[in-house]
Amino acid sequence: MESLNIPNHVGVIVDGNGRWARERGLSRSEGHKAGADNMEKLFTYMINKGVKVISAYVFSTENFKRSEEEVNYLMNMIVHRFKWFLKKYSKENIKIVFSGRRDNLRADVIKVIDDLAERTKNNTKGIINFCLNYGSHAEIIDATKKIYEDANKGIIDINNLNEDLYSKYLYQDLPPIDLLIRTSGENRISNFMLWQNSYAEFYFPRTYFPDFDESAFDQAIIEYNKRDRRFGGINYENKGN
Ligand code: IPE
Ligand code: IPE
Ligand code: MG
């Protein structure tokens, strides 16, 4: 059998935790816990399969619109899990980075994300980019402001601004997303990595995130391998679809 092409950078919009819980008569918090448990297993599996970079949308700038109780639960869970990730990802040789605005985040959240990034910065097996208090519009505005400042200081020449240089001003300088997965059946990207997704293949399974397991990811890879990525060119390939 022909071997499957594994996407280099996979974006994951973790969605459907609340509906998963509601269907089971559980609280939204229990849905978030089930989603987080699944995420730990799934991401290690994805990297073992050969994915080099995962960008995970775990909390958007807009998610602050939710109840104080839900936001607090999510932030407490992030602090708790990320402390455990210090051990987990050091052992698994996975580097952790963050994308998002730091203002509005609690001091204990900032501390744990900084510790995790520092402690895993030399790891080489793969990268997980946690997008936390992340919004793509905010990222593009923040990048543009930094470019303006650097141009004014003479650090860069604005005439040399191109896609590569612009990318370096985003929260993280990562390769483009090849495959974007959003669980739960919503067909939208909700302000997630507009720049990085420009040529991504979109995959929108109906499964709620807590149920999106290893075999569901294998299915996503099979689907990805049926796509004909042309990047504006005309190199048709017979993918049987
Ligand atoms: C995703 O699940 C987790 C976050 C956005 C933090 P949701 O909480 O959005 O779940 P639904 O969409 O209400 O089912
Ligand atoms: C997107 O999910 C944000 C995250 C998964 C972190 P939402 O559940 O917040 O998105 P909408 O409101 O359905 O667009
Ligand atoms: Mg949702």
Looking at residue 209, its pLDDT comes to 99
pLDDT tens digits for 90-144? Answer: 999 999 999 999 999 999 999 999 999 999 999 999 999 999 999 999 999 999 9
Question: How large is the average pLDDT for residues 57-66?
Answer: 98
Catalytic-labelled residue, pool 17, 37, 48, 63: 63
* The pLDDT of residue 1: 54
Q: pTM of the predicted model, to two decimals?
A: 0.97
Cα(39)–Cα(32) distance, integer angstroms? 10
pLDDT value, residue 82: 98
Q: Which residues pair with 127 in a beta bridge?
A: 53, 95
Active-site residue among 15, 17, 38, 178? 15
Which domains, ranges and CATH numbers included, belong to the chain? 9-135+176-224 (3.40.1180.10)
Listed residue (198, 186, 142) closest to 168, CA to CA: 142
66 lines ligand 1 (CB under 6 A): no
The rounded distance, in Å, linking the Cα atoms of 11 and 75 is 21
